[in-house]
Amino acid sequence: MSRKKVVFFILSIICLVSLSLNGILLRRSKDIDEKIVEENLIVSNLNFQNVAYEEVNKPYDLDERYNEDIKNTNGVTSDMVRVMFKYSALWKAEMDCYYNLLIEKLEEDGKVSLVNSQEAWIVYSNQNNQLIFFCNSSFYGGGSYLTILEAELEYSKYRERAIELMELYNMIRAIAE
């Protein structure tokens, strides 16, 4: 076996071990915050009927709360990961809310496009995050950075999609008015 193949094989094993350990830590972090997230989801979820304009733009308030909570972690990795997963769940709730609002407003062809788009987005975003994580894991070789990276990827994924769906909803709503 060539030296390149041996090095690649060793790096692959390190990546797999690192991914497994990070997955265990992240699942534990997600479980710890389940109650906190549930409490925030009650405040965060929108009423699907007669949504006021101010409420439609509400998700951006999550950015302010997120930034404040991240500052309060003082750079402690486990606290940062906990905050990222908390806000990841909140952004996912916002994403689901706008998805449902769009489903209610769109005509049948639009609904089919939205469903197909969401299904494709789920596959793409998961695969893309795995790729980013794998490349970083190969480059850095492990460490707490990867735990933070995985949490940040999850947070960003839901935040970006929630805002995208919110903007689409605002567009459709403006047409209807």
Residue pair 85/151 in contact (Cβ under 8 Å)? The answer is yes
Packed helices 77-105 and 144-176: angle between N→C axes, nearest 10 degrees: 20
What SS3 class is residue 57? coil
Compute the distance between CA of residue 85 and CA of residue 27 in angstroms, rounded to an integer. 10
**Which residue is it, tokens 């596959």?**
123
Compute the distance between CA of residue 99 and CA of residue 115 in angstroms, rounded to an integer. 9
Banded model confidence at residue 61, pLDDT cuts 50, 70, 90: confident
pTM value? 0.68
Q: What integer pLDDT is reported at residue 22 of this predicted model?
A: 46
Residue pair 91/155 in contact (Cβ under 8 Å)? The answer is yes
Banded model confidence at residue 17, pLDDT cuts 50, 70, 90: very low
Residue pair 121/161 in contact (Cβ under 8 Å)? The answer is yes
Compute the distance between CA of residue 53 and CA of residue 118 in angstroms, rounded to an integer. 24
Residue 90, both tokens: 């909140």
Q: Among 39-53, 75-89, 125-139, 147-161, where is mean pLDDT lowest?
A: 39-53
Q: What integer pLDDT is reported at residue 46 of this predicted model?
A: 41
Banded model confidence at residue 154, pLDDT cuts 50, 70, 90: very high
Mean pLDDT for the stretch of residues 120-128:
95
Q: What integer pLDDT is reported at residue 145 of this predicted model?
A: 85
Give which of 160, 13, 42 is closest to 92, Cα–Cα.
160
